[in-house]
């Protein structure tokens, strides 16, 4: 099977670096017909993510990282680099499975075995429960 990479460009004006200046986030992702999405109906609902201890939930489509999906749902998770290296967003996954947008996310084998994930480069592969005590609800700006 041939895999094609596509560049995804998202304007994340909910994550401003400086007041009024949106962040552009580019990342490669596999086409929906790739093995990463194999067996999943293209019309299937997004996975549901519950954030503990707040109990807030959000939809996590397979086109967004958990960090992006949370942001679009008005939930700010800890973050900094957004590329899987700084580990600021690292949190505990209590239930579910994720896949990563990069080959080597900044986690050790032991950390992965303990259920730690990096939401900035993780995409939901099932419904999830994650433990993020520092998650903050934010008001979404209307355009």
| pLDDT for res 142 | 72
For the chain, first and last CA: distance in Å?
42
| pLDDT for res 26 | 47
Put residue 77 in one of left, alpha, beta given phi > 0 → left and psi -120 to 50 → alpha. beta
Contact 81, 90 (CB under 8 A): no
For the entire predicted model, the pTM comes to 0.72
Q: pLDDT tens digit string along 29-60? A: 443 334 444 455 556 789 999 999 999 999 99
| pLDDT for res 1 | 42
| pLDDT for res 52 | 97
Residues of the chain predicted below pLDDT 50? 1-38
Domains of the chain, CATH where assigned: 44-136 (3.10.20.30)
């Amino acid at each position: 099977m041939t895999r094609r990479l596509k560049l995804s460009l998202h304007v994340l004006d909910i994550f401003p670096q400086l007041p009024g200046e949106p962040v552009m986030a580019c990342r490669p992702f596999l086409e929906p017909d790739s093995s990463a999405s194999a067996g999943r109906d293209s019309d299937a609902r997004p996975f549901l993510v519950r954030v503990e201890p707040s109990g807030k939930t959000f939809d996590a489509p397979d086109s967004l990282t958990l960090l992006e999906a949370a942001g679009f749902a008005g939930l700010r998770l800890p973050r900094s680099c957004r590329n899987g290296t700084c580990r600021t967003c690292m949190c505990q996954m209590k239930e579910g499975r994720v896949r990563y947008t990069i080959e080597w996310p900044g986690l050790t084998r032991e950390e992965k075995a303990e259920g730690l994930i990096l939401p900035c480069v993780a995409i939901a592969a099932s419904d999830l429960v994650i433990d993020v005590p520092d998650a903050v609800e934010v008001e979404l700006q209307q355009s």
